[in-house]
Structures are given as C-alpha cells and as structure tokens.
Structure 1
Amino acid sequence: MAISKNKLLKNVSGKIGNSLVVRQCGGKTVIAAAPTRRKSRSDPATTKRQERFRAASKYAHFALKDPGRNEIYAAACRGNQKPYHIAIRDYFKAPVLSDLRTSEYHGLAGQPLIVRATDNFMVTRVQFALLAPNGSFMETGEALPDINGVDWVYITLVNNRSLKGTLIRVTAEDLAKNKTTLEVVL
C-alpha cells in the first residue's frame, strides 16, 4: 500500500488493470494491490469465525442506528477509524472481572464489596448476587462505579448470619451486552 501525492489521482478511486486499486482514505489517495478471490475454506473453525464476524457486523449496524451508541462509538474514533470498526471490536471482547475485595465485608448490611471491572471499550453494568451456603438467594443489586473508573462498589442490603460458605456472584456487562461472571465462596 502506498500513499500517492500525485495531483492527477486526487479524488480518483477504482481499479487500474487487474493489479492495482486506487481509493480515498482519510483525505489521502491510497494505491494498493487489487484484492484477489480466495478459495473458500469450509473447516468448522473457519465457519465458526465467519459466523461470529457476521454477528459482530450485524451488531455494529444495529448499534450505529441507535443515536446514543453511535455517538459513544464515534467519540472513541481516532485517526481514520470509523464507529463501525469500534463497535465490531467491542463486540468481540467481553469485560474482565478481577480483584474482588471482601475484606470490609463482615456479613452486615451497609458494608462494601468491591470488584475491578475492565473492558476494551466500556463496562456499562456490574451486578452482585449473594447466595447463602444452602444455595438460596440472599440479595442481589447493582454496583456503582468508583471514582477511579475501574472499580465498582456494591453496598450490601441485608445481614448475613452465615458468612462462611456464602457465594458472591459478580456479573459485568459491556455496551455490546457481552457478559462475564466471577464467583467467589467466602
């Protein structure tokens, strides 16, 4: 791929013979080798990747029709990036949960549970669920983002008499609705 400064090619796009393609990208004239048709592969791994990319493309088209999401993705563009490509990248990466901090939780209502939730684009929601040792739900609720932008804080609502064996389930969601779950037993 080469960038042309030739004034004759300014605002020109198309194929030159069977070997070169001229296109406009970010206000620059780009000359590249003409694309070639590849032989179709039908192995299961390739088919799975193609299906996943098709789903990502559908998500990106859907997301860009929503003015709110379109604005968010457009704001993240740098250089020649397009909101469509940012949305596809977001679709492929789920949030990552780590560093669940329970040191300030002693089974009383009003105590914090803190988790680190990160994503390649944006974490939109983190939900906590506490289950008793027998598997019954004790409480569930939304965490709020901490001032540092990566930690999420949940304040417990009920007293927990059986702290040992309590299961804490944390679920994070990003703008593309990818979900990740982290479970810890106290």
Structure 2
Amino acid sequence: MAKADNNVLLSKLSGSIGKQVTIKQRGGKTIVSKAQQPREKAATGKQLEAQDKFTEATAYAKGVLADPEMAAVYRSMAQPGQNAYNIAIRDAYNPPVIENMEKAGNNIIVRATDDFRVYRVTVGIYSAEGVMLEEGNALMGRNGKDWMYTAITEALPGCRVMAVAEDLPGNRTNREIVIA
C-alpha cells in the first residue's frame, strides 16, 4: 500500500485500474493498493463470526447516521480523518468495561467505562442460594465513570452482587462480587 500526497495525477482519483491496482481517497490522502481478489476458500467459523459482528456494527452505524442528534454526538468525538460512522462502528465493536465494584454501606459503587459512553448500569443482589433479592438501575456520578446503586435490603455475607454495564449499541458486560 502506498500513500501519495500532492500528486497531480492521483489527486481526487479513486477506483480500480484493471484488476491490479485500487486507488482510494481517505482523510484527504490518496492510497494506492493492490486490488482485492475474490476468495478461493470458504470462510472459517471465526471469519463468519467476524463478518456477522461487522454486519451488526454497520447496521448500528447507519442507524446513528439516520438520527441527526446521534450523528452530531458521534461526530463530536471524531479525530482528524474519522467521521461519525467510524466512531459508531468502533463503539459497536467495543463493549463497556467494569473496572471496579465495591460495597460501601448500602451503596454499591460500580466504575464502568466505554470508548464512547456507558448507557446504563443495572445492579442485582442475590442471596447465597441464588434468589434475587432486588434489582435496579444505578445512577451515574458526576465524574461520568462511577455509578451508584443504593440497596433497599441489606446484603449479608455470602450474598452476590451482579452489575451489568450496557453501552449505546447494546453491548453488555457483567461483573459479580460476593459479600464477605
């Protein structure tokens, strides 16, 4: 792959030359690469899984672009050479991360981050036998990373606390702690 800047012959040019060379314009730069050839082998299971994930990510990104408000929010996060579509694809690929979870009195504090935005954090408290005692949404703290859930029932030793963080594309991550 070659990149060309300030080239009179290639500026504003895109497409394929025969079945050998492809010319693309990306972020104000001209990229010259070998033309993609058709596949000779059938895709493996992992490749099919990656194709499905990409199809879901592109569907999400197209939905973002169809909503002017969401497109503006994603566009605001774009770096030079990126656009709202790129950021939405990246967001769809990357699930949120629960970095930490702790109990402080009746409060459960969950630190959840995402490459774009955590949409919701849900906390459930289960007895030692696995019976759900309560469940609800946590409230986002001022720092945008810490989410706090105030429990109604007291979580006794042996109880499990499960947190689920969800981002805008619907990716979910969960984490569990056992009260000591």
Shorter-chain TM-score category? Answer: 0.7 to 0.9
3-state SS of paired residue (1:54): helix
Corresponding residue for 1:121? Answer: 116
When normalised by structure 2's length, the TM-score is 0.84
Aligned length: 178
3-state SS of paired residue (2:149): strand
Give the unaligned 5+ runs of structure 1: 106-110
Which residue, 164, 169, 181 being the options, matches 2:162?
169
Corresponding residue for 2:55? Answer: 54
Residues 94-130 of structure 1: CA deviation (Å, up to 9, x unaligned) = 111132111x22xxxxx32111112222111111112
Residues 18-63 of structure 1: CA deviation (Å, up to 9, x unaligned) = 4333333223333333333332433222222222222222222223
Corresponding residue for 1:185? Answer: 178
Residue correspondence of structure 1 range 81-160 to structure 2 within 5 A: 81-102=82-103, 104-105=104-105, 111-156=106-151, 158-160=152-154
Decide which moves more: 64-73 or 14-23. Answer: 14-23
**Superposed structure 1 runs of 4+ greater than 4 Å apart:** none
Specify the structure having the higher radius of gyration (Cα).
1
Corresponding residue for 1:75? Answer: 76
When normalised by structure 1's length, the TM-score is 0.82
* Residues 49/159 of structure 1: CA separation in 2 closer, same or farther (3 Å cut): closer
Q: How far apart are residue 134 of structure 1 and its match? A: 4.1
C-alpha contact 2:95 2:173 (8 A) present in aligned 1: yes
Give the unaligned 5+ runs of structure 2: none
* Residues 120/8 of structure 1: CA separation in 2 closer, same or farther (3 Å cut): same
Residue type matched to 2:11 in 1? Answer: K
C-alpha contact 2:91 2:115 (8 A) present in aligned 1: yes
